[in-house]
Structure 1
Amino acid sequence: MASTKPGQRKLQILQALASMLEQPKGEKITTAALAARLSVSEAALYRHFASKAQMYEGLIEFIESSVFGLINQIAEREERGIDQAHAILQMLLGFAASNPGMTRVLIGDALVGEDERLQSRMNGFYDRIEMACRQALRVAVSQGHGVEDDVAARASLLVSYVTGRWHRFAKSGFKQNPAEGTAVQLSLLLAA
């Protein structure tokens, strides 16, 4: 790693952290273990990140930019609100399946014992996800699918469904794919 540029080193640190989070046992990750994995000193980690919390913030930023970038693409691509909601849910489940380590951040598992602001930030992430679902469902209502009074409750239910699938994935040691077998469930959740 000696010849890497600073931006690349930060990325390597975050990739190593995400990789360590993929371990099914889900033990707390220390900066010493992370440094050892990268064959650098802990001081080298702190040249790029002021704290371990800042490293987790880097992962959260990746999650947010990826997920909300995809949600924006879905909203632009799908005209029907119900199709938007379905695509958002599928994307959220697929994102977790493709990023097991990030799933532990998504469910807060990796943030236990870390700085409280990290969990607060993830709570804000959930609020934004629910808002995106609400928006898609409002579009669906304007197109004759469902009723306005149900939008908030249904959006909350959809987010709870996704987080439940994420938890099951993480608690199964990443064996139970969160996106597998969801077609019927999503159809029931999105039925008028």
Structure 2
Amino acid sequence: MASSKSGERKTQILQMLAEMLEHPKGERITTAALAARLQVSEAALYRHFASKAQMFEGLIEFIENSVFGLFNVISESEASGLIQARKAILMLLTFAERNKGMTRVLIGDALVSEDERLQGRMNQFLDRIEASLRQCLRNALAANELPATDDIHARASLILHFVLGRWHRYAKSGWKRSPSEHLDVQIQIMLS
């Protein structure tokens, strides 16, 4: 029973941290501020997480599990590599739109004054996204959906940078500029 409550409390802490990250111009997120928002002591936070970096690792783990779980669903449900790529782009942008606080982690904003290993982990995450996009494009190449001369490495990099740019603009606009604005036309350009 205690581990169930402990798991619930950990989830509450991570949800509040993500909620606090939705305010990019708000106060710096400290464990004291987080504890105050949760109406618990800082010591209560440290019963669940050894450090603030560990809390951010919890958010990153949630992001990784969510995104790569969805990549797997897309690759298993779609035979067409181009449709896989299209759905992957839409999924990445929709994830950011639905998880504003996580978007600040995705773009590194929330990690600026935190342990540098967190940014390293996010860099690895982005490398994995690019590798997943390359796989979609390899599938498209194998099915003759793209010309045999297509440079899938360059195309996957372009797509990743497009997504990163959309995430940045969304966060920097104070969540006003939707990452999926004009998306159909732009995906058509990237995948044609």
Range class of TM-score, shorter chain: over 0.9
Aligned-pair identity in percent equals: 65
Find the counterpart in structure 1 of residue 35 from structure 2: 35
Find the counterpart in structure 2 of residue 66 from structure 1: 66
Q: Distance in 2 between matches of 1:54 and 1:148?
A: 45
Find the counterpart in structure 2 of residue 171 from structure 1: 172
CA contact (8 A) 1:96 1:102 kept: yes
Judged with a 3 Å threshold, the aligned counterparts in structure 2 of structure 1 residues 26 and 125 are, in CA distance, closer, same or farther, namely farther
Matched positions, count: 188
Find the counterpart in structure 2 of residue 161 from structure 1: 162
Find the counterpart in structure 2 of residue 182 from structure 1: 183
Find the counterpart in structure 1 of residue 144 from structure 2: 144
Deviation at 1:25, TM superposition (A): 1.4
Q: Distance in 2 between matches of 1:14 and 1:180?
A: 29
Q: Which amino acid is the alignment partner of residue 159 of structure 1? A: L
Aligned Cα RMSD in Å?
Answer: 1.1
Q: Which amino acid is the alignment partner of residue 19 of structure 2? A: S
Q: Distance in 1 between matches of 2:182 and 2:155?
A: 20
Give deviations 1:106-134, integer Å, cap 9, x for gaps: 00000001001100000000000000000
1:123 has 2:123 as partner? yes
Structure 1 SS opposite 2:93: helix
Structure 2 SS opposite 1:5: helix
Q: Which amino acid is the alignment partner of residue 180 of structure 2? A: A
Q: Which amino acid is the alignment partner of residue 137 of structure 2? A: L
Deviation at 1:104, TM superposition (A): 0.1
Gaps in structure 1 of 5+ consecutive residues: none
| Shift >2 Å, 4+ stretches | 145-149
Q: Distance in 2 between matches of 1:190 and 1:118?
A: 32
CA contact (8 A) 1:24 1:174 kept: no
Find the counterpart in structure 1 of residue 105 from structure 2: 105
Q: Distance in 2 between matches of 1:93 and 1:124?
A: 19
Find the counterpart in structure 2 of residue 48 from structure 1: 48
Q: Distance in 1 between matches of 2:180 and 2:91?
A: 9
Q: Distance in 2 between matches of 1:26 and 1:41?
A: 21
Q: Distance in 2 between matches of 1:33 and 1:71?
A: 35
Q: Distance in 1 between matches of 2:27 and 2:170?
A: 16
Q: Distance in 1 between matches of 2:145 and 2:7?
A: 47
1:19 has 2:11 as partner? no
Q: Which amino acid is the alignment partner of residue 138 of structure 1? A: R
Give deviations 1:59-111, integer Å, cap 9, x for gaps: 00000000000000000011100000000000000000000000000000000
Gaps in structure 2 of 5+ consecutive residues: none
Q: Which amino acid is the alignment partner of residue 45 of structure 2? A: L
Q: Distance in 2 between matches of 1:143 and 1:132?
A: 17
Q: Distance in 2 between matches of 1:44 and 1:129?
A: 35
